[in-house]
Structure 1
Amino acid sequence: MDFEVLGAVTIRADGRSFAVGEPRQQQILAVLLLEAGRTVGLDTLVTRVWGESPPKQARRSLQAHITRVRRVLEQADPGSTWLARDSGGYRLDIRPEQVDVFRFRNAVRDEAADRTALAEALGLWRGEPLAGLSGEWAERTRRTLSQEHEAAVVAWAAAEIRAGQAAATVIRLTELVEEHPLHEGAAAVLMRALYALGRTADALAVHERIRRALRDELGVDPGPELAAVYEAVLRHDLPSGERAVPAQLPAAVTGFTGRTGEIAELDRLADRAGEEPVIVCLTGTAGAGKTATVVQWGHRVRDRFPDGQLYLDLRGYAPEKPVSPGDALGALLTALLPGGAEVPLGVTERAARFRTELDGRRMLLVLDNAASVDQVRMLLPGTGSCAVVVTSRDALTGLVALHGAHRVTLDQLPLADAVTLLGLLVGQRVDAEPEAATSLAERCVRLPLTLRLAAELAVSRPAVPLSRLAAELRAAQRTLDVLSGGDDQRAAIRAVFSWSLRQLSDQAVDAFAALGHHPAPTFDVHALAALAGQPLATAHTLLTVLVRAHLVQPAGVDRYLMHDLLKAYATEAGDVDERSALDRVYAYYLATIAAAMDLLYPGEAHRRPKVLAPGSPVPGFPGAEEAREWLDAELATMPALAAHAATRGRPESAVALSRLLFRYLDGRDETVAIRIHDHARAAAHAIGDRGGEATALHSLGGVHLQAGRAAAAVAHLSAAAALFKEIGDVSSQGRAVAAVGMVEERAGRYRPAIDHYTRALALFRHDTDPVAQAHVLTRLGTVEARIGHAAAVTNLEHAMALHERAGHHFGLAWAKLGLAEVALARDHLSDALALHNEAVELFRSIGHLGSEAWCVDGLGRTHTRRGHPDRAAEHHRRALDLFVAHGDRDGETWALNGLGEACRARGDVDSARLNHTTALDLAVRTGAREQAARAHHGLARVAADTGDLPAAHRHYDSATTIYRDLTLSTDLIRKELAELG
Structure 2
Amino acid sequence: MAGTRLELLGRFRVLRAGVEVPPPAFGGRKVRTLLRLLAVRRPDLVPHDVLADALWPDRVPADPAGNLNVLVHRARTAVGDPGLVVTGPGGYALGPCTVDAEEFLAATARARRAAAADPAGALRAATVALELWGEPLPEDTYADWAREPRERLLRARVEALEAAAEAALTLGDPGAAAGHAARAVAADPLREPAVLVLARALAAAGDRAGALARLADLRRALADELGVDPSPRAAALQRSLLHGDLPPTGQASPSAFGELPFVGRDAELAAVHRTLAAGGVAAVAGVAGVGKSRLLAEVVRRSGRPVVAARAVLPELADAWGLAGSLLRAALAVDDAVAAAVPALARDALAGLLPELGGRPVVLDGETRRALQLAGGVRMLEAAAAADALLVVDDLQWADPSSLGLLGSALARLPRLAAVLAFRPDELRPGVLADLRAVREMSDVPLGPLSASALGALVGNAELAQALGESTDRTPFAVAEVLRELVTRDAVDAGPDGWHPREHDVAGLAVDLGRAGQRRAIHRRVERHAAGADTLAVVALLAREAPARTVAAATGHGEAATMDELAGLADAGLLRLGGRGWTTAHDLVGETVVAGLPAGERARLHGALARALETGDADPSEIARHHRESGDAAAAAAAYASAATGALDGHATREARTLADAGLALDPRPPVRATLLDVRAEARAAHGDLAGALADLRAAVPLSTGGNRARRLARLAMLTSGAQDPHRAADLAELALIGAADDDAARAVALETAAILDMNLGRPERATERADAALALFRRLGDERGVARILDGRAMATFLDGRIVPALAVFERVAQLFTESGDLLRVVTPRSTRGHGLVFHGRPADGLAETSAALRIARDLDAPEAQAYALWHRSEALSALGRGEEAEADAVEALRLARSLGHRGWTATAHRARGIALEARGRLDDAAAAYAASAAAAGDDLALFASWAAARAALVAVETGRLAPAAPLVRRALATGPALGHYEARLAAVELAVAEGAADADRLAATALDAARAGGHAASVARLLRLAPGLDAGLPSRSSPGR
Query: What TM-score, normalized to structure 2?
Result: 0.41
Query: What TM-score, normalized to structure 1?
Result: 0.43
